[in-house]
Amino acid sequence: EAKSTGKSRACLFRPEMAASFRRRTELENEMREGLANGQFELHYQPIVEIASRKVVALEALLRWNHPAKGPISPAEFIPIAERSDLISDLGEWVFERAAIDIVRLPAEVSISVNVSPMQFRQPGRLVAALRSIIEKRNVPADRLELELTESVLVDDPDKTLETMAELRSFGLRFSLDDFGTGYASIGYLATYSFDKVKIDRSFASVISENEASRSIVELVQHLAERIGFTVVAEGLETKVQVEAIAATGICLAQGYFFGKPEPIGPLAERLSASTTVPEA
């Protein structure tokens, strides 16, 4: 009696909710083990100069090859990691891996690493960890860039400025990721000194058809020229999109049109032969 009542009540919460809660809990528990057991790897995607097709940087993108569940997208596991200290463990692993991989690349190619807003909420830990990796690995820190999202700037502007200044003193550089989707106003571009601003992928598909979106992208490029940062257009998939972006004066781009994320091995080999990506 009581059992069946409990069952029908549970149904009010919908079985798929229970399933997704269970999956999240499992992933959270398995992530730590996966990190210790080599289930994570980095893939790298080129950022290229549109005119010359020269690769100027690679973005490090985290991959989880789960032994039973198969490949899991960072879009799924990063938010789970962000609920605990796991995100800092993952983030530090990513930074160290990138610091190891960078010596396999030509000197003119840098690596950019995504940093979670949650890592910025523990600035002491972040600064100490990155400092120790840079010293231990003896890396050229000026070839490593940190990608931050707008939410970091909104969270605690003063603390973020202070943390960025400390990290910058090691030689690290900064990109503002996914620009145009979050909460940050254009004023942030003046307050924080970013080396690069990455225009979100959602602009790529609409820029050739939508006048207003094109105007926003042109405005950012105009500010870049005045303030002194470099714009990267993200998520370019077609020649039409590349041409529309190039017409705004933007010089750097990233997207499947120029190359998909892939492991360092084959990519480093091709880059040591030539830093130019082939015509798609």
Residue pair 175/149 in contact by the 8 Å Cβ criterion: no
If one asks whether residue 75 binds ligand C2E (CB under 6 A), the answer comes out as yes
Q: What are phi and psi of 210, to 5 degrees?
A: -110, 110
Among 74, 123, 140, 182, binds ligand C2E (CB under 6 A): 74
3-state secondary structure of 276: strand
Least separation, in Å, of the C-beta of 197 and Mg ion? 11
What's the closest the beta carbon of residue 234 comes to Mg ion, in angstroms? 5
Distance CA 110, CA 171 (A): 12
Q: How many residues bind Mg ion (CB under 5 A)?
A: 5
Q: Alpha-carbon distance 139 to 271, whole Å?
A: 19
CB of 44 to ligand C2E, least distance (A): 10
Instruction: Return all residues near 107 (Cβ < 8 A) that are at least 6 apart.
Output: 140, 143
Nearer to ligand C2E, 21 or 256 (CB): 256
Q: Are 224 and 197 in contact (CB under 8 A)?
A: yes
Distance (Å, rounded) from C-alpha 77 to C-alpha 60?
A: 16
**Secondary structure of residue 193 in the 3-state scheme:** coil
Stretch that binds ligand C2E, among 157-165, 181-189, 221-229, 233-241 (CB under 6 A): 233-241
Out of 94, 189, 233, 253, the only residue in the binding site for ligand C2E (CB under 6 A) is: 94
147 is an interface residue for Mg ion by CB under 5 A: yes
Of the ranges 118-126, 133-141, 178-186, 205-213, which one interacts with Mg ion (CB under 5 A)? 178-186
By CB under 6 A, name the binding residues for ligand C2E: 45, 61-62, 73-75, 78, 91, 94, 114, 116, 147, 177-178, 201, 235-237, 254-256, 261
